[in-house]
Amino acid sequence: MSYFITIQKLADDVGVDTSYIRTMIRNKDLTVYKKDGYKRIYIDLEEFNSTIKPIHAVEEKINLDDYLV
């Protein structure tokens, strides 16, 4: 069962900026859904969660200088 959520609500719940989600949409990483007659767009929460993957294995040490924090 799909659970649809707005970009703003997803950004608040997950803790990322809305520009990050918009970039994922522009890069075709996420599919956008819209209900007829309404201006809001929705994201499938399961699809978003499936696109987030760990960077490295847990055993490896992560150098945070290589990433934007």
Q: Which domain holds residue 24?
A: 4-66
Give the residue-averaged pLDDT of 38-66: 80
Distance of alpha carbon 5 from alpha carbon 11, whole angstroms:
10
Question: What is the structure's pLDDT at 35?
Answer: 86
The answer to whether residue 61 scores a pLDDT higher than 80 is no
The answer to whether residue 45 scores a pLDDT higher than 70 is yes
Tell me: the pLDDT tens digits for 3-35?
A: 899 999 999 998 989 999 999 999 999 999 998
Which tokens belong to 9?
A: 């609500």
Q: How many helices (H) and strands (E) does the chain have?
A: 3, 3
Per the structure, the count of domains in the chain is 1
> Pick the residue with more confidence: 8 or 37?
8
Its pTM surpasses 0.85 = no
Q: Please, is 43 exposed, middle or buried when counting C-beta atoms within 10 Å of its C-beta (0-12, 13-18, 19+)?
A: buried
